[in-house]
Structure 1
């Protein structure tokens, strides 16, 4: 789909099927284009400039793209024409982001905190910000996704080859959903509540499916995979460290917007 990128988490998909991916860069590195839009015909155009180290991407209920900056600890709200404004600050090393069904935004701070930002005000500014849960620090980034029941699932790569996926309930209590992955990164759900994660399983890197019975299987094999996003007609956009790939998986993803 696109090359010369630097995704470090899932791409995002808007209501029209356009895909958004980052050129995240090394910490503190300024890049010419922070986020690219890849249109349905695979044409790629610059979308966001001048935001440093964009990491997590997610569309909000208002149709705006939200992006975290791990260099600044800031979440930006990005209009349909690519204009970025500050939405929330003080998020530590802000990485993964996800919206719940009520429009609240959750942000993973790499040092171990999951923040909850209450639904935006009418003027587009953020609501109350507070600590939702605390986990062990990650060496790379947190990755967040909700299932249909409203449980928040979180991965955060560590040096362990026996990593866990955390499940956090509505009260902020964390439990272990699955253990046994290597460098687990981007995650997403299908409509049947199966969880998909970019990780290594028994030494094989790829996209791993974990069903509701906690059984894990390798769905797609591929090195350097960091994230995924489900598209229409059973397809998916898979992100590596420098490119996006379009793959027919015959899987219907859970709607995020």
Structure 2
């Protein structure tokens, strides 16, 4: 979950207030690549369509959590959408059309992913401190988990599922106070037990399993780093270290996706681009949007077509919320489809 133009305080002020209270295209090769300094690739992402404009009620729009459903439609959340406007949209990327999938008066939804256990769509409610779920058709809203974990209320940001359907949540506690109180929380698939796996992290944001489900990549927004948490067979953390230090300049580390080759796609808040690393921390490429970027200030997340390489990146700013398309370095898997 991220904001514009100075994410941590500005967006959370807007989100706190929320808790209280067209289509354009651009032609071109979506996989166009060029060399950049140091031999790293620059991959150009091309505009597919505009999904949202800045909302009058909130003064902003912020797209997140792209994930494909079983029919190949792309679901996208708008973090700052007010009640009555689409909080989750269903997008036909072939026809370039979008319609409301879900709206309500309660949630500030920052990520979305389908469970491998029950097939429902799970959403993190950052302001409400809850995890909710929807039926695949967008109905039957249920609260999956709510309440404190180890005595502290969550600010759930992104999520990832293990193969059995247990949830792993990036809890961004301490973000507004600029304190390192972020956590990684595991919630059993029945919602009955929540366990803190790691704490004292710097505004935990993106979270994704590695290719073999042996560990978790976790981005820490206020330190511009990606930590790696090694897991045992029961899902407990056995070791933890800083794996990648992201040289983002004014941009900060946002959501994370992982492709079939284990490459990390690190979203950037403060720049409409993504950085791509291999599992050993080598910078492989930068995903850029072409031309003038006035009014576009973040590339929060990406979904790569399951079994294919076409990727859809959520890009937002005062100019609106957009989908951009590019060719990924490898095929899409569960860890590059939501969260």
Is the pair's TM-score, using the shorter chain for normalization, greater than 0.5?
yes
- How far is the alpha carbon of 1:116 from its aligned partner? 0.6
| 1:15-94 → structure 2 map (5 Å cutoff) | 15-25=70-80, 30=83, 32-40=85-93, 41-50=95-104, 51-61=106-116, 62-83=118-139, 84-90=141-147, 92-94=154-156
Mapping of residues 1-257 of structure 1, within 5 Å: 1-4=49-52, 6-7=61-62, 9-25=64-80, 30=83, 32-40=85-93, 41-50=95-104, 51-61=106-116, 62-83=118-139, 84-90=141-147, 92-111=154-173, 112-120=182-190, 126-138=191-203, 142-150=205-213, 151-158=215-222, 160=223, 163-170=224-231, 171-172=236-237, 173-182=239-248, 183-199=252-268, 206-222=273-289, 223-232=297-306, 233-241=308-316, 242-249=321-328, 251-256=330-335
Please say if residues 272 and 315 of structure 2, whose CA atoms lie closer than 8 Å, have aligned partners that are also in contact.
Answer: no
Q: Which has the larger helix fraction?
A: 2
Return the TM-score normalized by structure 2. 0.66
Task: Say which one has the larger Rg.
Answer: 2
Gaps of 5+ in 2: 1-48, 54-60, 148-152, 174-181, 290-296
Cα distance in 2 for partners of 1:35, 1:204 equals: 24
Q: TM-score, normalised by structure 1?
A: 0.85
Structure 1 residue 49: Cα displacement: 1.0
Number of positions where the alignment pairs a residue of Structure 1 with one of Structure 2 = 243
Q: Give a deviation string over 1:86-143, Cα, whole Å, max 9, x none.
A: 00012511111110112110112111121111123xxxxx2311212114242xx611
Q: Kindly indicate whether the alpha-carbon contact (under 8 Å) linking 1:198 and 1:227 is maintained by their aligned counterparts in 2.
A: yes
Cα distance in 2 for residues equivalent to 1:9 and 1:74: 17
SS state of the match for residue 65, structure 2? coil
Structure 1 moving runs of 4+ over 4 Å: none
CA contact (8 A) 1:239 1:245 kept: yes
Unaligned runs of 5+ in 1: 121-125
Q: Distance in 2 between matches of 1:106 and 1:7?
A: 23
Q: CA RMSD in A?
A: 2.3
Q: Give distance in 1, aligned partners of 2:247 and 2:328.
A: 22
State the distance in 1 between where 2:183 and 2:216 align: 13
Q: Check conservation: 2:120, 2:134, Cα contact below 8 A.
A: yes
Higher normalized contact order (CA 8 Å, seq sep 6+, divided by chain length): 2
